[in-house]
Structure 1
Amino acid sequence: MTGHEPPTALPPALLERPDVRAALAAHDFGTVFHVARAEAGISYSTIAAATGIKPDRVGTLARGHGKVTTFEKIVRIVDVLRIPGRLVGLARRPWEPIPERLEDSGRRDFLKASAGAGLAVGLPDLSRPPTGGRVGSDLPEQLRQRTARLRRLDDVLGGGDTYRTYLGEYQSTRMLLRRGSYTQETGRNLLSVLAEQAQQAGWAAFDGGMHAEARGLYEASHKAAADAGDDELAGNALAFLAYQGLRGDRQARQDAAQTAARSCATAGPSAAPGVRALLYERLAWAHAVAGHAEETERALDAARAALAEVDGTPQPHWAAWVDETELQIMAGRCWTELRRPLRAVPVLESALARYDDSHARDKALYLSWLADSYLTAGEVEQAAMVTGRALTLSSGVASVRPRERLAPVLARLGEHQALPAVADVLEQARA
């Protein structure tokens, strides 16, 4: 808590109660509203005015009828009632205290705890120069390797878990640039590292539902990469901005497709093949969401051609995760968005059979597109089975994206709740 709480803030003691915790975990905000009035004296009209929900709707929810499913409304309720993000599966909210700089001991504690989940990151201890000290020419490469190793956390953890760690790395390097002493070349290399760290932190913020923070970090990354003369990272920053822009309305999606095209042009034809493959597959996705079928096909072809050029030589580690399986999944996602289930289902089924369940967040997301395509094809029971697998995988992952992606799929399944398979998965979702 910040110490300057609004009159609608729930008392910390209430947030510790098991019944309130269970309600928050289930996104049962009606129960939370009822408790807020009965136990904290916060009237329904006060909650309504602060959250933008109609007063009669607040009362209806408090009586146990209906649920809040809109992501923006959930975030508004959380912020108004000052509910810590972790209690509802969100990243730390902007009003929750965040250390200006995470010390190495804090990062080690985090990573030590993460090791219990099977992580073996093996980070080196870097001795950063004191404030105003001379920065050695080898430090940027050491930081780059550290960033690469930290990236592995994203394979198994959601943005709600990784954001503070990634942000701390970015803030430390930014402080080093501001207060350290270094040659022009070392400064340029540090700026490149900073751009990469900003993208990493921005992605975690996006994954944790902190979209304003994500945009700010992506924009900071683009500036740092441009100042460093790193066209590949500058292009990737634009690709991230495009990806985020696809959440908007029709015009925003059209603009995002143009930004994605700029990302490819910024990196240029001389970029590493892995980088071009990554940017072209993101361009394909932007075109698919914008409804451009022909442009989607061309971008996928360009991504495949670039990937075919990868000959075993080292690629930038932030693009090295793109392989045949990932590209196949992206193709399936694109055809799902374009309502082409006969093309989407076979490639998604094939690729996801090779995709390990340890990447729980990503596999849950990818399964949501498979379920979507099965529904479009009229295979309702199969869609329900796949949705159940996605729900199981996404349980406990600190990422808002699986829940966002599965919400419309579950809504469509609700039209067939008389089918036993559908009733089972809807019950699973409620639980």
Structure 2
Amino acid sequence: MAGFKRLIPPGFFDSPPMRKALAQQDFGSVFGAVRTETGLSQGQLAQLVGLSQGRVSEIENKGHKVTGLSLGARISMALGIPASTMGFWSEPGSLVDEEVSWVYRRDFLSLATATALGSNLHPELDRLGSALPTRVKSSPRTLIGANDIEAIEEVADFFRRQGLARGSGLYRDAALAQLHEVRSYEHVECSAVLRPWLWVATAELAWVTGWLAYDVEDHDAARRVWSYALWAAGQGADHPRSTDLSVAILLDLAHQALHLWRPLWTAPTRVERDHQQRMLDDALRCAQTAAVTASSRRYPVSTVTAAYIASVTAWCWAARGDAAAAHRLIQQSQDLYAKVDRSSLAPWAAFITPAEISAQHGHSYYLLSTHDRDHAPRA
């Protein structure tokens, strides 16, 4: 990511100035120190901790206090601040704890945002690979070349096409097995020129594998695999495809959250209401992180991806009943889709047909109609 200098060093938050600031919940000093150490902009830090840039500026420059235990805990998780330093219990649920569902992990959005922004501040980023549903074996390979990477791309394209044509249930396990084989190439010798391409090809296979899991309602596996795909795409940030791929994965995570939100036709319980609100928040934050990622990487996103950002973000606002925001983004999406040259679409974007575009926009109006029936005819 542009401007990123280096990682937070071990013991950074244990220094006397940081301990004093944390004890007083002086997040202005904490934010300033973190940005100086990492090179993050205020906007990037804001996205990482789930606040607006204006709020971060007020905290950092005007001394505004962070109130509320839950917000302090969220900032602590996002920045990798040891929970004990702030007087919190450690966040339950390691990435390697097979009993913790990724749909319900409280720190999942912090992890996804840190991965997308390339901050590497989340303490468990280096264990993402081990979070996949099964373990990887070491590869007997000694060298990876261009033909091997092309083969990975062909495998990803095969599973994408077969999943669309015949359903995902038949191919999910096979795709996961292939992903583990490809993951074993991570530490095999590969030229510096080819390495970003290898990362992006690996990320694309993981992205497709996540979709196959999502399509059969295996949401926990989908989130695990997509989180790894997002990390791998970030490792290949020097490849032109990386930005489009990272954004697409984030938008799929937003799509999944909206799917898990699902308006209830009966009066929800308190637990159900809390879950629905969390899914709405997850969806919007993933879409907003996609927009930030699109504007902060070395390579720009394609027009079709920019249109999809607007379309998915419109869904998020429509689900919340914000007609003005949804209308604005639908119009933005329509304007961008009108500029897309369909004759040159990449295979991964082949599903973006006029019917798909109409369905995307119609879905936003349907979601608005759940708040105001006047939107139903347009849907």
TM-score range, shorter chain: 0.5 to 0.7
1:147 and 2:156 aligned: yes
TM-superposed deviation, 1:199 = 1.3
> Is the 1:235–1:265 Cα contact (8 Å) retained in structure 2?
no
* Alignment equivalent of 2:174, drawn from 165, 176, 183: 165
Q: Secondary structure at the match of 2:344?
A: coil
Post-superposition offset of 1:174: 0.8
Aligned twin of 2:191: 183
Identical aligned residues as a percent: 22
Partner residue of 1:270 out of 300, 321, 327: 300
Q: Which residue is equivalent to 1:241? A: 253
Following superposition, the deviation at residue 270 of structure 1 comes to: 2.9
Q: CA deviation at 1:310?
A: 1.6
Is the 2:159–2:208 contact (alpha carbons within 8 Å) kept by the matching residues of 1? no
CA contact (8 A) 1:159 1:205 kept: yes
Q: Is the 8 A contact 2:207 2:226 kept in 1?
A: yes
Q: Gaps (5+ residues) in structure 1?
A: 1-97, 103-129, 348-431
Q: Whole-Å Cα distance in 1 between the matches of residues 340 and 152 of structure 2?
A: 25
**Count of paired positions:** 223
Of 279, 286, 307, 1:259 maps to 286
Alpha-carbon offset, residue 253 of structure 1: 0.2
Equivalent residues of 2:152, 2:205 under 8 A apart: no
Q: What are the Cα deviations for residues 181-220 of structure 1, in whole angstroms up to 9, with x where unaligned? A: 2112222111101111111111111121211111111111
Q: Take 2:257 and 2:166, find their aligned partners in 1: how far apart are those partners?
A: 24
SS of equivalent to 2:217: coil
Q: 2:352 aligns with which of 310, 322, 325?
A: 322
Match of 2:315 among 254, 273, 285: 285
The DSSP-based 3-state class of the residue aligned with 2:250 is helix
> Aligned partners of 1:253 and 1:346: how far apart in 2?
23
What is the TM-score with the length of structure 1 in the denominator?
Answer: 0.47
Following superposition, the deviation at residue 263 of structure 1 comes to: 0.9
Distance (whole Å) between structure 2 residues aligned to residue 145 and residue 281 of structure 1: 29
Larger Rg: 1
Structure 2 residue aligned with 1:303? 333
What code does the residue aligned with 1:284 have?
Answer: A
Q: Secondary structure at the match of 1:334?
A: helix
**In 1, distance between residues paired with 2:159 and 2:209?**
11
Residues 260-318 of structure 1, C-alpha deviations (whole Å, 9 max, x = no match)? 12213312393111222223222222222232222222222222222222224533322
- Report the CA distance shift for 1:172/1:345 in structure 2 as closer, same or farther (over 3 A): farther
Change (3 A) 1:344 1:196: farther
CA contact (8 A) 1:198 1:220 kept: yes
1:297 maps to amino acid? H
Structure 2 residue runs without a partner (length 5+): 1-132, 262-275
- Letter of the aligned partner of 1:208 in structure 2? V
Determine the C-alpha separation between the residues in 2 that align with 1:258 and 1:100: 30
Q: Distance in 2 between matches of 1:166 and 1:263?
A: 25
| Deviation larger for 208-217 or 159-168 | 159-168
Note the C-alpha offset of 1:100. 6.5
RMSD over equivalenced CA pairs, Å: 2.7
- Name the SS for the 1:203 alignment partner: helix
Residue 205 of structure 1 is aligned with which of 205, 213, 220?
Answer: 213
- d(CA) in 2 for partners of 1:298, 1:346: 15
Provide the residue aligned with 2:243 in structure 1: 231
Q: Secondary structure at the match of 2:189?
A: coil
Within 2, Cα distance between the matches of 1:153 and 1:294? 39
Distance 2:301 2:285 in 1: 19
CA contact (8 A) 1:159 1:207 kept: yes
Structure 1 residue aligned with 2:228: 220
**Segments of 4+ in structure 1 off by > 4 A?**
98-102, 340-347
2:112 is aligned to none
Partner letter of residue 256 of structure 2?
Answer: Q
Could you report, residue by residue, the CA deviation over 1:323-379 in whole angstroms, capped at 9, with x for unpaired residues? 2210101111111111166655566xxxxxxxxxxxxxxxxxxxxxxxxxxxxxxxx
Which residue is equivalent to 1:127? none
8 Å CA contact 2:152–2:202 kept in 1: the answer is no
Q: In the superposition, relative to structure 1, how do residues 282 and 161 fare at CA in structure 2: closer, same or farther (>3 Å)? A: farther
How far apart in 1 are the matches of 2:348 and 2:178? Answer: 16
